[in-house]
Structure 1
């Protein structure tokens, strides 16, 4: 039976808990009285024989306890010998009984030493042994007592640790030195069936632990909340509390061992297990990783380790469980339960949410909060959709630039073939759940289920604008990632940067726009050195994540010819954005000015003679609008002429054949 089991026995109601507290105090008082008598006998130079009255009082106090006393639990937890237990009581008496100080002074024959020492304990207490105060023995190893400054070890003052003193008195007071390091983890309100299965597997593993103790349980998954919930559920079922430590909170150096022992002591006193949270810890972080591995090696109780990646833990028995996000079916059930009070929450609405967003249980509960205030299904659907979109933003905003997609189809001037491909992209995104899940394509394998697109063409031909149109149509966030900033010269850093982006985007299914794909892609030649080999690995990793990403990932490039055909085959859609001809440029000029912008006398056919892409046309229109605003007139051809000269000068192109002169 664990310490938690014994506590639960006593804490069925307020009455039994109060009874145990009072009985525990009587038992502690009787135990202290027995040690006090030992001191008196030693001062009087009497033999160290048991005192019948004190022994009988102790037995009666033990019989009155509804559950084992805190002193006996502590003795069992740390395997204290009878002498070590009495040394601990000797130190506790100094704090709880005012008569102990003069008795210690009298027993040592020196009024200047009114405190317990190891020498006094060896002389006055029965079954004494020298090894009790060695650094590896329980009293000092687990910091139950502290040795003060003195000329010799036997003459140095001894003092009980404050946390241990509270425990003996029956008070559950956390160690102040661990505030901010050790966090209690309450059991989850519920677990989805796939996670319940993992919690049961942990219980089976713990049912018959080997002689050396519980094996280390490693939970690997992308979501920190899921791993914590499974760990807490398993511990609760085992009758243990769970306490979380973040890997970055572990010290290194000379403070490493003392803190580790305090942590394990606290877990033991509370009858609990520890969860070492390694989420956010990178494998290349050798400093923290070393502290993590050493902490695991020194584990002296039930330990669970959570993180995205598996750790290689030498010298310990380790059982690893992979924790996936809730399945689409489980997410539907979570949404149904969260929206049960809302009559307008139809199965179709829930299906749309599950299709787009990959949320864990706490996120679904948060997104559903306050939905009772919305009336019809359309209003409810918009509110839930926006709440789900907002869930992923804090994680992605630190890694990429969020673009506000305001562009619509009418803003996009492209040949019909390219527009049709873009509409096909929309079709795949909208109906992927039906095709993959309902129609069973996902059961044939997860490879290639991600929706990826390549937008190729000269600068300013509308690649980013097309991405905005798709995001606007799908009502999704659009994030632009500059691959030239993501790619690193250090081995492994590029993959780490890409992993952060995809992990952050997975929850909300945002559209990822990877600009400057040329920075990473290129024709693969022969591998002549290690840099070539790792460059190919980086490209392969990006394509692998794109194929597995449940949202839409778009790559843009100015040079499609520079891309390896083997890579292009792994991208589902390729859209070539041509440089606009005169007819397309005239159409762009007609659409470039917002409806509220005043214009006068614009000759679109003449403007179309400017051999420029859509991006340059937009710059000219915007600059001309400022010139007109300064003059307080509508936008006219003379404003566009000045703006065009400025834009063409940047491109080193002459303003000829247009008729502006």
Structure 2
């Protein structure tokens, strides 16, 4: 009468079984089903066996009484599955979904799904579960978000649902072992890493997640609905490879941006929303530029302009050409787009990269050489691998400015320094083969780029030094937003001063500061002084020092 809870002895008496039988006592062992499945807890282990207290978990008692509120230990740790992949958008993805859903109908199954891009695995599993008519408990496997495995499995058993875990912890072995041991529950795991047999003695079914086609126009149309009718949706979203629920979130953000502007959803709204959903860790290694230019800001001959437009075209349609039309070279090669911009300083190479990124609706990341080059052997390659891996999963344009510092020619091995330098080049050659993103290289010295890199490039764009006509167009473009004196004519400057586009811009900036200091408009004298300063900076003789 003094005990507040039932004991082992009372339970055995109620069941009418003798307490001295080993098989009976084994029912209360930690590995026995009652305890292993979380149906019964035996407390007060310091007491003699028969006097230990028994407790029914609150979640189980609630379930028996008709209350299916999830276990309190799972609150805040479960999240909904993303929207499924749209049916009919990709034949390979549809086949994958049908086959795996049919396999789930046969009984509980443990599956490890390796995803190439973040969200693809969860989106595929959402489609599989919908097709199979099976509910799921979805959680993240990171250390902070992971719920208790026993509580998670018990909840799945009570509701007849599957367990879905994404983003496994850094050391996934204990988690995978605990989940694969539950042979009566369907467990679906997804992560970017390849499956390691050392994680668990019971291997799951290991599959590759079907990749979402770049842009996923069908998924975007499903997410935007009638809002997608006012513009060319397929062209607008072609550069983006968002997975999981990112497209739904981007569609919601695009509607919010359109509502703020007081108009219908446009391609610009969709691009901006998609760009914000493509989170990136590149900023620790590269400088982010949000392009604010377009094709009108380029003053170039027709040949390089045509090549730049072709570069943007390749970036949009690479999945169709290399994937659907099977024109990839094979051998594990990626679907990246690689271009080299070669020309003298100031001829518009970096500006062109920004224009291409703007045309694609992507951010531009300029790689900082100081953050990747390391004096210790092997560290430079590790830093480059981090950059390429992050760029593969990010919708962005990667720019290696002054690329000859990293992609230089290999040399004859005369000492250990040459050998290690050649190892860096060999690593880069291999990594470019499997790259899936968009990378642009700029150099003032094309002859210094190794020919093996050049062979792997899609396009090599030569930027010529501007002639007098192009210099005049550059002067006029620079003055287009500057308050200038009436009748100002930059023609003589374009004829007499052989300056590249970058130097002309610097000269206009100098003239603008001189005019702003006087509180006046830019005059011909201001422009002449700006041009002369650019000549002096370059150490060149200034024409017309006696007057203009």
Instruction: Report if TM-score (shorter chain) is over 0.5.
Output: yes
Find the aligned partners of 1:260 and 1:397 in 2 and give their Cα distance.
31
Find the aligned partners of 1:117 and 1:619 in 2 and give their Cα distance.
87
Q: Is the 8 A contact 1:184 1:241 kept in 2?
A: no
1:307 corresponds to 2:191? yes
1:390 corresponds to 2:273? yes
The runs of 5 or more residues in structure 1 that have no matched partner are 1-104, 106-110
Give 1:195's aligned residue: 93
1:206-221 equivalent positions in 2, closer than 5 A = 206-208=104-106, 214-221=108-115
Question: SS where residue 305 of structure 1 aligns?
Answer: strand
Q: Is the 8 A contact 1:477 1:511 kept in 2?
A: yes
Give 1:481's aligned residue: 366
Find the aligned partners of 1:229 and 1:454 in 2 and give their Cα distance.
36
1:67-82 equivalent positions in 2, closer than 5 A = none
Larger Rg: 1
Correspondent of 1:500 among 379, 383, 390: 390
Give 1:275's aligned residue: 164
Taking only aligned residues, the RMSD between alpha carbons, in angstroms, comes to 4.2
Q: Is the 8 A contact 2:482 2:512 kept in 1?
A: no
Q: Is the 8 A contact 2:97 2:124 kept in 1?
A: yes
**Structure with greater contact order relative to length (CA < 8 Å, sep ≥ 6):** 2
Correspondent of 1:246 among 140, 144, 152: 140
Q: Can you list the C-alpha shifts for 1:238-291, whole angstroms capped at 9, x where unaligned?
A: 55421122121379xxxx9x9222222222222222112027x7xxx4xx3444
1:412 corresponds to 2:298? yes
Find the aligned partners of 1:419 and 1:586 in 2 and give their Cα distance.
18
Give 1:172's aligned residue: 68
Find the aligned partners of 1:189 and 1:230 in 2 and give their Cα distance.
6
Distance 1:265 1:310, change over 3 A: same
Find the aligned partners of 1:431 and 1:265 in 2 and give their Cα distance.
47
After superposing the two structures, state which structure 1 stretch, 359-368 or 293-302, moved more: 359-368
**Residue 604 (structure 1) shift:** 4.8
Distance 1:243 1:531, change over 3 A: farther
Q: Can you list the C-alpha shifts for 1:361-398, whole angstroms capped at 9, x where unaligned?
A: 86666666798xx9xxxx97x71454145213332565
Question: SS where residue 460 of structure 1 aligns?
Answer: coil
**Residue 494 (structure 1) shift:** 2.3
Relative to the length of structure 2, the TM-score reads 0.77
Q: Can you list the C-alpha shifts for 1:523-558, whole angstroms capped at 9, x where unaligned?
A: 23468657743552234323432xx54xx6422123
**Residue 436 (structure 1) shift:** 3.4
Find the aligned partners of 1:531 and 1:491 in 2 and give their Cα distance.
11
Q: Is the 8 A contact 1:476 1:511 kept in 2?
A: no
Task: Number of aligned residue pairs: give it.
Answer: 513
Q: Is the 8 A contact 1:275 1:304 kept in 2?
A: yes
1:230-269 equivalent positions in 2, closer than 5 A = 230-236=124-130, 238=132, 240-249=134-143, 259-269=148-158
**Residue 415 (structure 1) shift:** 4.3
Give 2:282's aligned residue: 399
Distance 1:360 1:660, change over 3 A: farther
Find the aligned partners of 2:210 and 2:246 in 1 and give their Cα distance.
15
Correspondent of 2:340 among 423, 440, 454: 454
Find the aligned partners of 1:585 and 1:197 in 2 and give their Cα distance.
58
Give 2:503's aligned residue: 616
Give 2:376's aligned residue: none
Find the aligned partners of 1:241 and 1:344 in 2 and give their Cα distance.
34
Find the aligned partners of 2:249 and 2:80 in 1 and give their Cα distance.
22
- Larger proportion of helix: 1
Q: Is the 8 A contact 2:115 2:121 kept in 1?
A: yes
Distance 1:243 1:618, change over 3 A: same
Find the aligned partners of 1:477 and 1:343 in 2 and give their Cα distance.
20
Give 2:325's aligned residue: 442
Find the aligned partners of 1:341 and 1:542 in 2 and give their Cα distance.
40
1:116 corresponds to 2:9? no
Relative to the length of structure 1, the TM-score reads 0.65
Find the aligned partners of 2:421 and 2:191 in 1 and give their Cα distance.
29
**Residue 565 (structure 1) shift:** 0.9
